[in-house]
Amino acid sequence: MATITGCQKGDLIDNPNVAGSTGTIPSTLLLNHITAKLIRGDEQPFSNSTKNEQYVLSNYAYYWGNNSYGFSNTEDTYDILKYALALQNQQGTNTTNKYYALSQFFKAYAGIWLSQRVGDIPFSQAGNSSILTPTYDKQHDVYKSALAMLNNANAILAPLAAATPNVKLDASGDIFGLTYLQWQKVVNTYTIRVLISLSKRASDAADLQIPQTFATIVNNPATYPVMTSNSDNMVYAYNQTYNPYAIVNEGLQPYDNFGSMGLPYVSITVATQDPRLMVVATPAPQQITNGKLVSDFTAWVGADDNLSVATLNSNAAAGQYSYLNYNRYFSLPGAYSGANAEPFVFIGYPELCFNIAEGINRGWATGTTATWYNNGINASLALYKITNGQTLTISDLKGATLGTTTVNLPQFLANVAYAGDNAAGLAQIFTQRYVAMFANSGWESFYQWRRSVDANNPNGIPAWSQGVAGSIGTATGAIPRRWLYPASESTSNAANYNAALSSQFGGTDDISKDTWLTK
């Protein structure tokens, strides 16, 4: 035994395939890990985010899960932070290269991702190997630090992007395949998202300079370039072998009839005669049986999240609801790679347009709101390859053709014409951004909806179903305002965790309580 143990020890020490504790991992591999893991499982299309944003609802719990807002212990982004810190530290004193710039972006991203879910978090001390129980930074301070990091990332990338704008930053390490200039655009486009998310704090957090920073970016595209078209989008690509499209990966392909279209999305798109509805969904079988034509938008019907899964299943079996377009999302082999579906945009140009439109509507910057608003709608339509006069084939639940209809874009665009820089116009921006984020952008639709809830809009913009106790898995029937902290926090960092709960929520990790961000 002693001899065997001795041989094994020697082999392990000399193993040429394992990096030692002081070894250096190539920056391109660190970047590959970060970009590959950036999008979490519940941010994928038709995952929990899609259901909890009421785009598509389950009518059969065994296959599609239930529709409850089970906001239990959240995932975290400590792995992204850890690798971002490694990416930063391995640059040594070289703080002006591409990897250092991206380390700043990913550090900011990791902090905001977790903070917007739970509130105060360990951030400034997180990742410090000499501090095993890091203190919690106030949510305000997390955002202040993150905004500084994002600004730093832009400043570092600026000369690099100017020198080689159309060269990929790291062709082997970056799974998004973005150029130097596109990465700079991602940084600033994401910064706009962060600033808009702070809308409720715009007037009482003067040190964050929220409206001022927004105006600086929007009014100085040479210094702060942002996305200018869908070609700049951060798109998550799927493939059949290693990363099949989410529906196939989750084994949902044979069970397409157990996912019904959600009421908010269908109600909006029916009322505005939005052709995107006819592209992504099928008419309700009962409506066709009763004689409605496939050209009639009212043949599309959404499921209400206030109903139990059992009731939804019964209604679905009777043909009352619309379903996802089988040929677009489920038919093989294209479904493996999402080849028939719209691209999965994680950070993109349509959202940017609506965010800029919102900022101008709020008076944060000058500009023509309607132009940005219309650009957002047209960019979203382009992702679906929808053109005026186009013939759309309408199919049933299993992909059989029911008939055809013709796209009338002038009618749709007239129906959604911008109402002006007022409350009605702001509601339109929220609504059209929601439609554009169908099965895209992770939880961003939830974050946008959450901050729209106020005394005038108790169900948010657009209105989501809530208020019936037990139907959505919460005791009061109200949609949660936050997640619980990661489970490890209460055991590994108990004193600081309890202090954070005390200062924010009266000592209880409560999903119904607002954080500083959305109070």
Write out 251-308 in H/E/C secondary structure. Answer: CCHHHHHHEEEEHHHHHHHHHCCCHHHHHHECCCHHHHHCCCCCCCHHHCCCECCCCC
**Structure token pair of residue 296:** 């009639």
| Residue 311: how many other CB atoms lie within 10 Å | 14
**Which residues touch 310 (CB under 8 Å, ≥6 apart)?**
none
Give mean pLDDT in consecutive 10-residue pieces for the chain, a chain of 519 residues.
38 48 82 96 93 96 90 94 96 94 98 98 94 97 98 98 97 97 98 98 96 98 98 95 88 92 98 98 98 98 94 96 96 91 97 98 98 98 98 97 98 98 98 97 98 95 85 84 96 96 97 97
Looking at domain 50-69+239-481, its CATH superfamily turns out to be SusD-like, tetratrico peptide repeats domain (1.20.120.840)
The length of the chain, given as a count of residues: 519
Asked if 60 and 255 count as a contact pair (C-beta separation under 8 A), the reply is yes
What is the per-residue DSSP string for 403-417? EEEE--HHHHHHHT-
Which pLDDT does position 20 carry in this prediction?
Answer: 54
* Cα-based distances in Å from 330 to 52, 56, 290, 333, 500: 21, 14, 27, 9, 45
Which pLDDT does position 292 carry in this prediction?
Answer: 98
Half-sphere exposure in the Cβ direction for 425 (13 Å, CA): 22
The enclosing H or E element of 381 equals: helix 369-383
- β-pairing verdict for 344-347 and 136-137: unpaired
The enclosing H or E element of 391 equals: strand 391-395
8-state DSSP, 479? P
What is the per-residue DSSP string for 4-22? HHHHHHHHHHH-TTS--TT
Asked if 175 and 195 count as a contact pair (C-beta separation under 8 A), the reply is no
Please tell me the distance from the alpha carbon of residue 281 to that of residue 327, in angstroms, as a whole number.
10
8-state DSSP, 342? P
* Cα-based distances in Å from 492 to 82, 135, 351: 17, 12, 38
What is the per-residue DSSP string for 163-224? HSTTSBS-TTT-TT--BHHHHHHHHHHHHHHHHHHTGGGTTT-GGG-HHHHHHHHHH-TTTS
The enclosing H or E element of 186 equals: helix 180-197
**Structure token pair of residue 391:** 């013939």
Which pLDDT does position 21 carry in this prediction?
Answer: 53
Written out in words, the top-level CATH class of the domain with range 73-226+484-519 is: mainly alpha
Asked if 353 and 85 count as a contact pair (C-beta separation under 8 A), the reply is no
**Helix, strand, or coil (residue 393):** strand
Please tell me the distance from the alpha carbon of residue 60 to that of residue 66, in angstroms, as a whole number.
7
pTM of the model: 0.94
**Helix, strand, or coil (residue 443):** coil
> For the chain, which residues make up each domain, given as ranges?
50-69+239-481, 73-226+484-519
- Indicate if 73-226+484-519 has the same CATH topology as 50-69+239-481: no
| Residue 267: how many other CB atoms lie within 10 Å | 16
Which pLDDT does position 3 carry in this prediction?
Answer: 37
Please tell me the distance from the alpha carbon of residue 183 to that of residue 185, in angstroms, as a whole number.
5
- Nearest CA-CA partner of 462 in 317, 217, 272, 203: 272
Please tell me the distance from the alpha carbon of residue 31 to that of residue 106, in angstroms, as a whole number.
10
Cis amide linkage into residue 264, ω under 30° from 0: no
Which pLDDT does position 22 carry in this prediction?
Answer: 59
**Structure token pair of residue 513:** 């309580």
Please tell me the distance from the alpha carbon of residue 496 to that of residue 477, in angstroms, as a whole number.
31
* Cα-based distances in Å from 95 to 27, 104, 126, 363, 478: 14, 10, 20, 36, 47
Please tell me the distance from the alpha carbon of residue 358 to that of residue 49, in angstroms, as a whole number.
23
